[in-house]
């Protein structure tokens, strides 16, 4: 199981011996060094062709990449939010070990001495390069060379995104903001905001075509930079990371991609009316709160569901086109045969399932991601067959150790994941691992090949049987026939050594650390976002929880404090 209780991670700071083992003892390979091409996507769920996620999606380049390597059909992220997932992937550590649970935390602050994958590779003899969105923060600091910093609004420039106070205060159902250069009025979807404006910029929960040249888009520019790097010569093996921003919102793409998906003809995701009814209030809040996007109710009331699905599909195909460009360049380069290729998305995205839009939920559409690994042609593991699928449950936390082992390099002992190399050699190999995702502190979800179990910070639970309920429509938690399964999975959840208890009191979340002061978050969506500790503003919440714990000395872990207390 995962080494949840870390030993002295500071030991990682000691310089690692920079020896490159160019020969894997279990492969038939040459002596030339192996390079790494890592492609990441943002917010791309399992709606890709090779995963059969949506019947109309066009992802020819992800599909051809899968035919070259191993497609992991049950891969899940460590945290279904950008900062948490990327911090976990590049440190090889779960959120409880690196301190990044959501977009409110940055790995540079929670773990200033963290060793990232590219830095580990550099210490062992690699030249490291990257462009676009890699970390949800300062990607340049972990690389020798950094290219284009992503801009989610391009081709709309920074100056064009700024909303005046007059526009913000103008009466109407939504803020109208004109961009004369492109002949546009924002938002394209003409919907009101559900989230409180965090700035005077146009809202990102928007979709539609923008008829601007592709070279003006941030993903095109990042891919241009990466393509240029493959045309250069290097005196050592290299790591090249390409962070493709789409299909992250705003769901804008060049018009030709939107034209592929006429809204009137797109298939909507399967949903169940009343799907949240058998869940606890906290789970319902996760579904209905506009946490990272807008509310499903608003999308439906404004007749925008099909338009949004169409735009999301367009953005996936646009992102897929960038993958095609970098693969074509690699195949025409001197590095075609000696490069390990890894492609993943940081997390999924929901488009109305369980009344939710966005990510940061424990459910399948939010955590399941594409993951494809292609061994170098010059050094494939014995038994590897191109174009195979592994149905084993794996985690993106496993990618870091996989890369290191595939390259024959020293693997850090503190990493939380396990190398996927045995599954690359034999996709049906025995595998007793589970995939764990953390959705804010105290909320963990765990997947085995059949079961999906979630425990929230207030002690409420969910359990789904994938064999009979792949859409997660029937919550089995608490039913007598499933108590043993539920208990077995609960025992495998990670233990957060930093916090002794979590509790809910009305509309507030209370985090009780092992050491230090009680923290309070809320009300409303802040119970999930945790962007600001309001314990000083709400001493009555702290006092109520303390009284409850004094009168219930045996209470442990996760619990709900009745309001009358």
For the segment 288-306, the average pLDDT, to the nearest whole number, is 96
Burial of residue 110 (CB within 10 Å: 0-12, 13-18, 19+) is: middle
Q: What's the whole-number average pLDDT of the chain? A: 92
| Nearest 10 degrees: Cα torsion 52, 57, 58, 62 | -40
Confidence of residue 449 (pLDDT cuts 50, 70, 90): very high
Give yes or no for residue 424 having a pLDDT over 80: yes
Q: Residue 195: what pLDDT? A: 84
Cα–Cα distance between 160 and 212 in angstroms, integer?
14
Task: Enter the tokens of residue 230.
Answer: 């493959």
306-337: pLDDT as tens digits: 999 999 999 999 999 999 999 999 999 999 99
Give yes or no for residue 9 having a pLDDT over 60: no
98-108: pLDDT as tens digits: 999 888 788 98
Q: Are 370 and 41 in contact (CB under 8 A)?
A: yes
Cα–Cα distance between 223 and 221 in angstroms, integer?
5
- Domains of the chain are 33-152+214-433 (3.40.720.10), 158-203 (no CATH), 438-490 (3.30.1120.10), 499-561 (no CATH)
Distance from the Cα of residue 381 to its chain's centroid: 28
Active-site residue list: 82, 136
Q: Residue 170: what pLDDT? A: 87
Confidence of residue 31 (pLDDT cuts 50, 70, 90): low
Q: 3-state class of 21 per DSSP?
A: coil
Burial of residue 143 (CB within 10 Å: 0-12, 13-18, 19+) is: buried
Q: 3-state class of 125 per DSSP?
A: coil
**pLDDT over 90 percentage in the chain:** 84
For the segment 171-193, the average pLDDT, to the nearest whole number, is 92
473-507: pLDDT as tens digits: 999 999 999 999 999 999 999 888 888 899 999 99
Confidence of residue 200 (pLDDT cuts 50, 70, 90): confident
Task: Enter the tokens of residue 445.
Answer: 């979800």
For the segment 369-393, the average pLDDT, to the nearest whole number, is 97
Q: Are 360 and 292 in contact (CB under 8 A)?
A: yes
Q: Which residue has the higher pLDDT, 28 or 474?
A: 474
Q: What are the distances in angstroms from CA 152 to CA 95, 219, 246, 251, 357?
A: 25, 9, 8, 10, 18
Confidence of residue 153 (pLDDT cuts 50, 70, 90): very high
For the segment 541-557, the average pLDDT, to the nearest whole number, is 91
């Amino acid at each position: 199981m995962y080494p949840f209780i870390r030993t002295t991670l500071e030991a990682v700071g000691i310089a690692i011996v920079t020896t490159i083992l160019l020969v894997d003892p279990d492969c038939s390979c040459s002596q030339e060094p192996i390079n790494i091409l890592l492609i990441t996507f943002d917010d791309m769920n399992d709606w890709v062709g090779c995963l059969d996620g949506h019947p109309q999606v066009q992802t020819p380049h992800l599909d051809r990449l899968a035919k070259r390597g191993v497609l992991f059909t049950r891969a899940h992220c460590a945290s279904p939010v950008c900062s948490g997932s990327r911090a976990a992937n590049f440190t090889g550590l779960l959120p409880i070990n690196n301190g990044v649970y959501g977009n409110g935390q940055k790995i540079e602050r929670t773990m200033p001495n963290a060793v990232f994958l590219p830095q580990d590779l550099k210490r062992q003899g690699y030249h490291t390069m990257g462009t676009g969105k890699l970390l949800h923060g300062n990607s340049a600091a972990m690389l020798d060379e950094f290219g284009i910093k992503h801009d989610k609004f391009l081709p709309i420039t920074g100056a064009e995104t700024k909303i005046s106070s007059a526009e913000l205060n103008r009466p109407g159902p939504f803020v109208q903001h004109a961009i004369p250069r492109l002949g546009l009025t924002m938002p394209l979807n003409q919907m009101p905001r559900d989230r409180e404006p965090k700035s005077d910029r146009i809202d990102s929960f928007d979709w539609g075509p923008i008829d601007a040249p592709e070279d003006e888009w941030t993903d095109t520019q990042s891919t241009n930079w990466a393509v240029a790097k493959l045309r250069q010569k290097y005196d050592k093996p290299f790591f090249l990371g390409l962070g493709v921003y789409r299909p992250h919102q705003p769901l804008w793409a060049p018009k030709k991609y939107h034209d592929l998906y006429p809204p009137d003809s797109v298939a909507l995701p399967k949903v169940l009316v009343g799907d949240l009814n058998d869940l606890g209030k906290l789970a319902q809040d996760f579904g209905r709160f506009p946490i990272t996007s807008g509310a499903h109710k608003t999308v439906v009331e404004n007749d925008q569901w099909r338009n949004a699905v169409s735009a999301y599909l367009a953005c996936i195909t646009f992102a897929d086109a960038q993958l095609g460009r970098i693969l074509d360049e690699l195949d025409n380069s001197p590095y075609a045969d000696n490069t390990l290729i890894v492609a993943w998305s940081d997390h999924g995205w929901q488009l109305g399932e369980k009344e939710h839009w966005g990510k940061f939920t424990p459910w399948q559409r939010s955590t399941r991601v594409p993951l494809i690994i292609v061994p170098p042609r010059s050094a494939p593991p014995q038994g590897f067959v191109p174009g195979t699928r592994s149905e084993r449950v794996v985690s993106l936390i496993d990618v870091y150790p996989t890369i290191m082992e595939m390259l024959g390099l020293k693997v850090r002992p503190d990493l939380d994941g396990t190398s996927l190399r045995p599954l690359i050699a034999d996709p049906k190999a025995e595998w007793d691992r589970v995939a764990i995702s953390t959705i804010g502190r105290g909320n963990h979800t765990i997947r085995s090949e059949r079961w999906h179990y979630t425990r929230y910070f207030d002690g409420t639970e969910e359990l789904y049987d994938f064999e009979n309920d792949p859409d997660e429509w029937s919550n089995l938690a608490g039913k007598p026939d499933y108590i043993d399964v539920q208990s077995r999975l609960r025992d495998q959840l990670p233990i957060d050594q930093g916090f002794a208890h979590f509790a809910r009191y009305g509309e507030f979340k209370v985090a009780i650390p092992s050491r230090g002061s009680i923290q309070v978050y809320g009300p409303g969506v802040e119970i999930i976002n945790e962007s600001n500790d309001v314990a000083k503003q709400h001493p009555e919440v702290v006092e109520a929880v303390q009284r409850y714990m004094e009168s219930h000395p045996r209470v442990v872990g996760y619990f709900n404090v009745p309001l009358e207390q």
